[in-house]
Amino acid sequence: MKKIVFIIISALLFASCEKFIDMEIPDEGRKITVNSFINDQQNPTVYLSQSRFILDSEYSFPLITDANVTLYKGDTEVATLNHMGDGIYKADYVCEKGDSYTLKVSRGNEEVSSTSFIPESATFQLIDTASIISQDMYQTIPYLRFRIKIDDSAQQENYYMISFKYNGDPVSFYSRESFVENGTDRFLNYALFSDKLINGQSRVLTLDIETYNFMEEINPLEIYVNAISKDMYLYYIQLNKYYEAQGGFLAEPVMVYSNIQNGLGIFGGYTISKMQMNIPQLVDPIIEGKK
């Protein structure tokens, strides 16, 4: 057992006293940590590292370069992933949507595993785009507005992740949709939601991108509406809460979701559904709320 001293400062009471608490933190050893999201278009990639104890002197996570990594479809082994360097393992194989896959990682006497699912593709279409100007008492901001229609199937639980990329780089956007679960009325790198509020319905999402992203004569943009597994959804929901809790004095600690048996990390699946378009340089935007 090792011991650590925590300093608790009574900031809320504006007191100058400090209290020292002696606590014993058990060291449960280092575990294999997996990070992998498989899809229906790209070769499976797995990132392996080793967890560390809170009192370890090293801040980085050691990479695992000597593991045996295999992928199963049902009970059938379909791929062996080879180490490509820096704890990255890849296979010359493409998974299929609508199927479950199991990942197994072994190293010495350690073995971890996880099973996840690649869902069917999301059904969506771009309804329209418009240049708008949002005004309040403090500032005027021009946006390019996207209206995307999603047709949700009532036959099963569905989970979605929407994102944008410009020249391959993520583009932040603004969402006001109440059913987007990782935040509204602020900029997002992705919109994450389940179908619990829209089950079996067709819904139109309104998403805004600031026009400074499109200053070239031609601006290539990719719109992703990916169907994701429940594991991937739960991981990103908890990850978002974890980041929100950082730096908050009164915030409750958040444990990031893990579905790795005997280890740590995440193994999830998703289907890639995207639309490509070239955005011209925007001119003559209209003022929101006015004709």
What's the pLDDT at 47?
A: 98
160-to-17, 150, 164, 191 alpha-carbon distances in Å: 49, 10, 14, 8
First to last CA, the chain: 70
What's the pLDDT at 168?
A: 87
The Cβ of residue 43 has, within 10 Å, a number of other Cβ atoms equal to 14
What's the pLDDT at 215?
A: 86
In a structure prediction context, what are the per-residue pLDDT tens digits for the chain, which is 291 residues long? 444 444 443 444 444 555 555 545 454 557 999 999 999 999 999 999 998 765 455 667 899 999 999 999 999 999 999 999 999 999 999 999 999 999 999 999 999 999 999 999 999 999 999 988 887 777 888 999 999 999 999 989 999 999 999 988 999 999 888 889 987 666 799 999 999 989 999 999 999 999 989 988 899 999 999 999 999 999 999 988 877 776 555 555 667 899 999 999 999 999 999 999 999 987 555 555 554
32-118 and 123-237+271-287 in the same fold: yes
What's the pLDDT at 286?
A: 55
Q: What does the pLDDT look like over 106-120, one tens digit per residue?
A: 999 999 999 999 999
Residue type, position 273, single letter: S
What's the pLDDT at 285?
A: 53
Q: What does the pLDDT look like over 276-285, one tens digit per residue?
A: 999 998 755 5
What's the pLDDT at 53?
A: 60
Domain residue spans in the chain? 32-118, 123-237+271-287
What's the pLDDT at 41?
A: 97
| Multiple choice CATH, 32-118, 1.10.357, 3.10.310, 2.40.128, 2.60.40 | 2.60.40
**Distance, CA of 149 to CA of 162 (rounded, Å):** 12
Q: For residue 271, what are the β-bridge partners? A: 227
Q: For residue 25, what are the β-bridge partners? A: 2
Determine the topology of domain 123-237+271-287 in CATH: Immunoglobulin-like (2.60.40)
